[in-house]
Structure 1
């Protein structure tokens, strides 16, 4: 090409284009937006068995905002189902899914080993950090905590500038 536009499609703006999808056998007549029908989106449509196809007569791959929303909703539902499936595979004993997730992988290996030793969690020898964090996360989710007691103890510790580890080592808050 010499860099000049020769096609009718090239001279039109995006506002003049209509959606390139065929929805349940009928070509969509909504105006196309700036979202394109990529391979990733095509994969989502296939996996979710949406009745959407690319019109072979379309000279572009832009889809309307309506279909963009439909595909995004299908994708988010798929991700939620995958998360639920993953959670159900783990027998964690957790009853409330609204609890915040704690990422034990962010801790140092020494801290993870200290946690393992403190709670006497049995694992096979030679685990790497990721495997150890995963095993300890399963244990962590099974721990029952009395929230009122834990908060009261936390406030007391902060107010008295005390630390349970300092008391265990024979140090008092006056020594620090």
Structure 2
């Protein structure tokens, strides 16, 4: 699949998700989206880190050098520290999607 094919595939999935818009409603939707974005706070993704094993939480701690946790921390302490760190991370969505598409293209060839 070419990069334009991959992009078209992504566009197709997005259009399947969005509801059809009648004429005149598009501007209303844009205005309400602007108003809503100004009023709402950041919505955090729901990731259940408690499903991870203690060893995985320790690897996360080691990888990101989370020094506020001791070496013999309990799973609950690890979950608290890893959870705080995880939600503090920012993601450049465009960059992630671009890198993903490049990796998928590279893997296919």
- Give the TM interval when normalised to the shorter protein: 0.5 to 0.7
Higher helix share: 2
Aligned to 1:100: 45
1:38-49 matched pairs, under 5 angstroms: none
Q: Within the alignment, does 1:109 sit opposite 2:54 as a pair?
A: yes
After superposition, the CA RMSD in angstroms is 2.2
Q: Residues 127, 151 of structure 1: CA spacing in aligned structure 2 closer, same or farther, 3 A cutoff?
A: same
Aligned to 2:72: 126
| Alpha-carbon separation, structure 1, partners of 2:91 and 2:81 | 19
Could you tell me the TM-score, scaled by structure 1's length? Answer: 0.35
| Alpha-carbon separation, structure 2, partners of 1:141 and 1:161 | 30
Unaligned runs of 5+ in 1: 1-94, 163-172
Structure number with greater CO (CA < 8 Å, separation at least 6) is: 2
Checking the alignment, whether the CA contact within 8 Å between 2:49 and 2:79 is kept in structure 1 is: yes
Greater gyration radius: 1
| Alpha-carbon separation, structure 2, partners of 1:157 and 1:106 | 28
Deviation at 1:155, TM superposition (A): 2.0
Aligned length: 68
Unaligned runs of 5+ in 2: 1-40
Aligned to 2:104: 158
Higher strand share: 1
